[in-house]
Amino acid sequence: MKVSFHGHSVVQVEVKGKKLLFDPFITGNPQTDLVADTVEADYILLTHGHNDHVGDTMAIAKRTGATVIACHELATYLGRQGLTTHGMSIGGGYHFEFGRVTLTQAFHGSGYETEDGQILYMGMPAGIIVESEGKTVYHAGDTGLFTDMKWLGERHSIDVAFLPIGDNYTMGPEDAMTAAKWLNAKKVVPMHYNTFPPIQQDPQNYVSSLPEGVGVVLEAGQALEL
């Protein structure tokens, strides 16, 4: 399994010959190395409906034929835009051809802003766990710290966790330190920082606060082999 980071909350997982793309905010993202017109995806996984996470989903899915996995309300909306979708809800899991996906809770919002300025309710925000080939990846999405992260760490042997550290909209570095401890992940990669002025952080300071060898700062395009 190859897991790569592409700025903000954009993550790619390559497993069993399939390409999974998380929260593809590419156009307008100064932190990414990807190009929306050329990135490939078999599946797009969305944590919630905010525009900096839905991003280029519609264009990419229409071009590639990717199936979009998201909370029910967001999946329903995107399905009505002509995309192939699979809706899920918090606590639910499903076995796909590449592995199992489970949606976890996240504490945040989930409203999609349309071109005319309307904000549409898109259901609950979520974190996403992918289990495949004996490995487990946890993408926390946008969230504050919550104590059930302890349970996630007990229930799942997490190989890599992507955690937001930007503060203001999500948990900041201090709470993300606690999250890393509770999750007990083998590797922790910070995300959702430095894209906008309110979320400026030093990721190296964050990873240095974690046990030696756990925290990893990935620059856009860098990957971990699990």
Residue 217 counted as domain residue = no
Residue 88 phi, psi (nearest 5): -140, 175
In a domain, residue 104? The reply is yes
Strands 99-105 and 126-132: antiparallel
Query: Nearest Cα to 154, choosing from 109, 184, 129?
Result: 184
Q: Is 220 inside a domain boundary?
A: no
pTM above threshold 0.85: yes
Q: How far apart, in whole angstroms, are the C-alpha atoms of residue 179 and residue 163?
A: 8
With respect to residue 52, please indicate whether it lies within any of the assigned structural domains.
yes
Say how many domains are in the chain: 1
DSSP strands (E only) in 152-194: 160-164, 187-191
Element (H, E) at 203: helix 203-208
Q: Which domain holds residue 128?
A: 2-208
User: How crowded is the C-beta side of 38, counted as CA atoms within 13 Å?
Assistant: 3
Q: For residue range 114-125, what is the model confidence (pLDDT) as tens digits?
A: 999 999 999 999
> 216 lies in a domain?
no
Query: Dihedrals φ, ψ of 219, to 5°?
Result: -75, 160
**Could you read off the pLDDT of 185-202 as tens digits, one per residue?**
999 999 999 999 999 999
In this predicted model, what pLDDT tens digit does every residue of 152-180 receive, in sequence order?
999 999 999 999 999 999 999 999 999 99
Q: Report CA-CA distances (Å) from 206 to 10, 63, 165, 183.
A: 19, 37, 8, 16
CATH number of the structural domain spanning residue 24: 3.60.15.10
